[in-house]
Amino acid sequence: MIEDLFLDSRDRYGIIIVLGDETILYEIDEKMRYKKLDTIHARIQNNHRRGGQSQARISRLRDEQIHRYIMTIVESCKQNFRTNGVVHISSLTISGSGQKKEMLKDFLQEFKISLKILTYDNMEDILKNFNEAILNEINITENKKNEKEIKEWIDLQGISSADRLVFGDEIKELFDNGCLEKIWIIPDKVDDFKAKNKTKIIIVENSILKDFSGMIGLKYY
């Protein structure tokens, strides 16, 4: 637990809460450690006439103010979610009220990562669902990681390293002796493999390993 405090997680996720005149940027990792990155404020004119101003002029000024607001958010995203020009988050959730979320999403397509829109009408609902939104993004990303790990395993079958794969009862024996680099395993069997060594435990859906008794092992070189 102490070691985790000193680790820089590779799996990070962005959350943007966009309100009418305020936007907040957060970054969260897979251990649910999060920090506020930026708060952006804007002054946007109401969409109704004042004095002798025409409706067309008011609408034009309002559109310009909203555009500047969105572009300020985009610039903040580029500064906070990129490192040396490379996007360092796995996914980005945009929440809040109004249509500004959709406008922001269009400008952030260049990030080339998962962009998700959540619709809540007020800050109270956003905060109430904040952790749930984060967990959903983490679960989605974890499933993608699992699919990648299984793809690695599938690829191993066609190359000279295929003899590193182990199945059935041999897995437990090699695990107890510290001979396994990884285990792909379904949730029901995880308790049989408590962390005694450096073996990487990768939990996958039951359907993926249904033909392999729920687990596959990979020996060290």
Question: What DSSP string runs through 129-163?
Answer: THHHHHHHHHHHHHHHHHHHHHHHHHHHTTSGGGG
Quick one: how far is CA 84 from the chain centroid? 20
Could you tell me which residue, 1 or 86, shows the higher pLDDT? 86
Could you tell me which residue, 131 or 213, shows the higher pLDDT? 213
pTM: predicted TM-score of the whole model, two decimal places: 0.55
Q: Please list, in sequence order, all residues whose beta carbon lies within 8 angstroms of the beta carbon of residue 151, skipping any fewer than 6 positions away.
A: none
Which of these ranges, 25-39, 60-74, 100-114, has the smallest mean pLDDT?
Answer: 25-39
Average pLDDT estimate for 166-191: 86
53 pLDDT tier (thresholds 50, 70, 90): low
CATH 3.30.420.60 residue spans of the chain: 3-143
pLDDT of res. 128: 64
Confirm or reject CATH 3.30.230.70 for domain 160-219, answering yes or no. Answer: no
Any idea which residue has 């996958």 for tokens?
A: 204
| Mean pLDDT over each residue of the chain, to the nearest integer | 77
Average pLDDT estimate for 153-165: 60
Residue 121: both structure tokens together = 């009408």
SS3 state at 215? strand
CATH 3.30.1330.30 residue spans of the chain: 160-219
Average pLDDT estimate for 217-221: 83
Of 102, 204, 214, 196, nearest to 152 (Cα)? 204
Query: Is pLDDT of 135 > 80?
Result: no
69 pLDDT tier (thresholds 50, 70, 90): very high
Fold of 3-143: Nucleotidyltransferase; domain 5 (3.30.420)
Could you tell me which residue, 50 or 84, shows the higher pLDDT? 84
In whole angstroms, what is the distance from residue 199 CA to residue 182 CA? 5
156 pLDDT tier (thresholds 50, 70, 90): low
